[in-house]
Amino acid sequence: MATETKQPKPAANSAKPQREQYFLFDKMNYILMVAGIVLIFIGFMLMSGGKSPNPHEFHYEEIYSFRRITLAPIVLLLGFVVEAYAIMRKPTGANEVQ
């Protein structure tokens, strides 16, 4: 006949406290991510174009304009900075996690 040893049950007040579960990103992180994607898209749209109807002609002013050479890369970099900040930003409820 096998004897069974009974495990003592823990007291009700000695149970481990439950931790609240938080998401990795909150609503503001997602809003910033969408804003960064929109800025990147606008930057690529500003950079596009410059095709001439005749492939044997070269229009220096169209290809090397301020919009394509200066403004578009600045908008792109700004979009990538916003994306990096949105990913690295700590959600507001994460401070209370133990």
pLDDT digits (tens, 9 = 90+) for 51-83: 778 888 888 888 899 999 999 999 999 999 999
pLDDT for 66 equals 94
pTM beyond 0.75, yes or no: no
Lowest mean pLDDT among 2-11, 26-35, 74-83: 2-11
Return the half-sphere exposure (C-beta side, CA atoms, 13 A cut-off) of residue 1. 1
Which of 2-6, 62-66, 94-98: highest mean pLDDT? 62-66
CB of 32 closer than 8 Å to CB of 91:
no
Query: CA 8, CA 11: separation in Å to the nearest integer?
Result: 9
Instruction: Out of 4-8, 47-51, 63-67, give the one with best mean pLDDT.
Output: 63-67
